Amino acid sequence: MLKALILGEEERGQSQYQVVCFIFHFPKDSFISSDAMSKLRQKNPSTIRTPEEDLGRTNHTMEYMVLLKHAGIISPHIVDLCAEAGPYTYTLHEDVIKWAAAQGIPVTSYKPALRRFPTSPDYFATNEIDNEETPTTKCSQTKNMWATCQCHLELCIGWYPCGLKYCKGKSSTKNSVLSYRCGIKTCRKCHLFAYYVSQKQQCLWDEDT
């Protein structure tokens, strides 16, 4: 889950900030264990850190708005963490399938917590006619501030502990090499989210340059 606070552009008539919340699947090996994290000590916290590995960017097309009053079906943490985002809380069908499988429940169990965007297929529909997508222009390609469009927002985690670092040394046995934990590996990772907005006014940063 990633939450972003986006400041308004006062010169373009936005006096308020907006909060968006993206709920998506993180592989278990994306972060180090809580035990290793509890032992992590950071020296010189004001130092600008450089990650050891750049994991690139992952693209996500968000197909649902998550209804917070029913979000406990997916996770009990969503309501509290995404409360400020409200209706601007999003997820995608691919990950809904993964979570349902992990819980051993039908994917349709999540349906009360999800509202499909007009641009997304109705994965729960039984009628093929109801499963047609409605095309939407990218927000970067329209000048109409009140038009519906597909917004893009990139969020990057510039530096975070992503794994354990292992070093090699000589063991007590002759001619053998011993591998031992000797630190924390750090990474950089970006996520590009595409999602539906009812007005370009909600996505002023997404413009062609």
3-class secondary structure per residue, 31-92: CCCHHHHHCCCCCCCCCCCCCCEEEEEEEEECCEEECHHHHHHCCCCHHHHCCCCCCCEEEC
Higher confidence at residue 181 or residue 59?
59
Higher confidence at residue 38 or residue 22?
22
Domain contains 180: no
24 pLDDT band (50/70/90 cuts)?
A: very high
Q: CA gyration radius for the chain?
A: 21
Tell me the pLDDT of the chain averaged across its residues. Answer: 86
Alpha-helical regions (H) of 78-193: 78-81, 93-103
What's residue 195's pLDDT? Answer: 95
Higher confidence at residue 91 or residue 163?
91
- Is a pLDDT exceeding 80 seen at residue 47? no
Residue 202 near residue 150, CB atoms below 8 Å: no
Domain contains 97: yes
Domain contains 169: no
Domain contains 61: yes
Lowest mean pLDDT across 18-32, 47-61, 141-155, 161-175? 161-175
Domain contains 96: yes
Q: What predicted TM-score, i.e. pTM, was given to this entire model?
A: 0.84
Tell me the average pLDDT across 15-37: 82
How many domains does one find in the chain? 1
Domain contains 179: no
Domain contains 181: no
Portion of the chain with pLDDT greater than 70, in percent:
86
- Is a pLDDT exceeding 60 seen at residue 129? no
What's residue 39's pLDDT? Answer: 66
Domain contains 32: yes
For residue 140, give its domain range.
2-43+57-157+189-202
